Structure 1
Amino acid sequence: MEKHPSRIRILIVDDHPVVRTGLTSMLTTQESFDVVGAASTGEEALQLTQQFNPDVLLLDLRMPGMNGFDILRELQRIVSPPRVLVLTSFETDEDVYRAVQAGAHGYLLKSTMQNEMIVAIRAVAEGKRHIPPRIASRLAQRMSRPALTARELEILQMLAKGLTNKQIGTVFQISGNTARNHVNSIIEKLEVADRTEAVSIAIQQGLIDVSD
């Protein structure tokens, strides 16, 4: 579909109907914006992206099935992918880091004022990045910290359940000493004093999920 040179074509991706409707109503009041579609799932988002070739994709991260991180990765397979502005209720260090690493060009909270959102959409459409200073500062701190390995993240999840080194060793079929070494590495990377603080920081930063 041909693009009008003076207008920014926007695709909204959010699993909540109220959010999709509200954003559509708000953005269509701007003469320079065209909302070309609104998707409720990741699969629909990819389909509409191919169909309408938007300039900017407003993307929620936490969605059932294919989530925002999955969508970001899939968009990289497209020859000319849209620029992505994440719009979410979550601002954990890990969410911001993973989104930017996966290709997001901007990051906003859903509580953002309308004027800032409009500025952010225009900036991202122009090829710039838009991350509020407070979130950018936390992102910089996260990027300077050594990343935990997949096994260390699994062990963090076990620490959150209160398992000892010996019990962790049994779960992963490793020795208690090896489990202890993993725990010590986690403590060092997170720059904390002990496993209890490691779990607390991991929850705050979104490294592990304790909702179950």
Structure 2
Amino acid sequence: MADNITLKTYKGGNVNPQDDAIIYETAIPGSGIFKGCEVTYARGNVLHISQGFGMIRGRFFEVYETEIDVRLADVGETLQGRVYIHLDLSNADEPIKILAQAAAELPPLDADVNINYNNSSYDLELAIFTVSSAGLDGLTKVFPTLKAGSGGGGGGGETLTRATSYAVGDAVTAVGAPGWATLVCTQAGTTAASEPSGYSRITKVGDRV
């Protein structure tokens, strides 16, 4: 057998989880939710997350119905908040978990598009909101929705079109945006007749245009 190349998919071959993820990521680029994972108010500073299924860079996961606490702000303070899924392949004991975060300015999410090669981390944002001392407000779903047949070079599988209506959570790619970027609708509406210049200024996950 050659010592400088290995065939993974053949009788007697060994396809490990990393190989599997690379194959799935090629077929379904990007990250998002297939079904469920809806974030809603439970009570006070507690959010409810429904059962669901999703994929981060080819890594398939299931979310069990759960609740998560969010740290409230001090009196007179307003914070930005989010709930997200954190995938860390370097953490063998707990490679994936759901986290809530509140801060005056939220830090960038982890977004190594080569996570399957670098054994690194990647975050998938589920919802954003504002946090006061009284509770949570403005809860908005922001995760991309993965659909059947979404392969073909972009996380959402569809290319953004002009003068078209989109709903919150719709995910698309755009010609003017970086090739790795998936655009997620955070406010329902209709796209303008001409493409805005802001897409070219996208440099990291979480940028808004």
Please tell me the TM-score bracket, short chain as reference. under 0.3
Higher helix share: 1
Higher strand share: 2
Max Rg structure = 1
Compute the TM-score of the two structures, normalised by the length of structure 1. 0.27
Compute the TM-score of the two structures, normalised by the length of structure 2. 0.27
